[in-house]
Amino acid sequence: MTAELGYGQPLGGVAQTAFVVPDLQLAVRRWVADMRAGPFFVLPHFLVTGQTYRGEESRADITIAMGFAGHMLIELIQPLDQAPSVYQETIALRGYGFHHLGIACADVDADSLDYQSRGYTEAFRAAVPTGGEVVYLDNGTGAQFGFLELLPVTPGMDATFTRFWEASRGWDGTDPVRSFI
């Protein structure tokens, strides 16, 4: 495992900033026009078997888009239903906007246990298409100030996010919305 990911972020450091949005297409257009981020790679209907929310099976359906602003991976998340979720918690408490920071982890389970020893709880867990599982952690202020997400640094994750970052380098603004897969 390298100390730095293919897109320039450190293992163990903040690798992603995420926002919950009411309209993914509008949010992508704003990030492209106002922040010159992108292109964005969209994964529609991210609802996988076995995902959990606060220890119970989760049925929350979301669509996500990921794109880069420099070396920072930006994730935009649009809830597609009203099912209980970490996203609906945030929306109910303070509306749309910042949701979480993603930490690049060599071992999500070990890091989750470490955070739990410091008072965090697992709020959400789900398998991801790049391999492994993500875990959202809450220290009691997640919905108010933002959750922490543990991102599994797998070869698939590093290759996928590096591909997204490479697409952003020298990007001329064309084809701003692309397929995640």
Domain assignment present for residue 2? The answer is: no
* Angle formed at CA 158 by CA 74 and CA 166, multiple of 5 degrees: 65
Domain assignment present for residue 50? The answer is: yes
Task: Dump pLDDT digits (tens) for 92-126.
Answer: 999 999 999 999 999 999 999 999 999 999 999 99
Domain assignment present for residue 142? The answer is: yes
Domain assignment present for residue 175? The answer is: no
Task: Dump pLDDT digits (tens) for 141-165.
Answer: 999 999 999 999 999 999 999 999 9
As for how many domains the chain has, the answer is 1
Domain assignment present for residue 179? The answer is: no
pTM of the model: 0.95
CA distance 176 to 144: 31
Domain assignment present for residue 121? The answer is: yes
- The CATH number covering residue 83 comes to 3.10.180.10
Domain assignment present for residue 122? The answer is: yes
Domain with 40, as residue range(s), is: 14-170
Domain assignment present for residue 1? The answer is: no
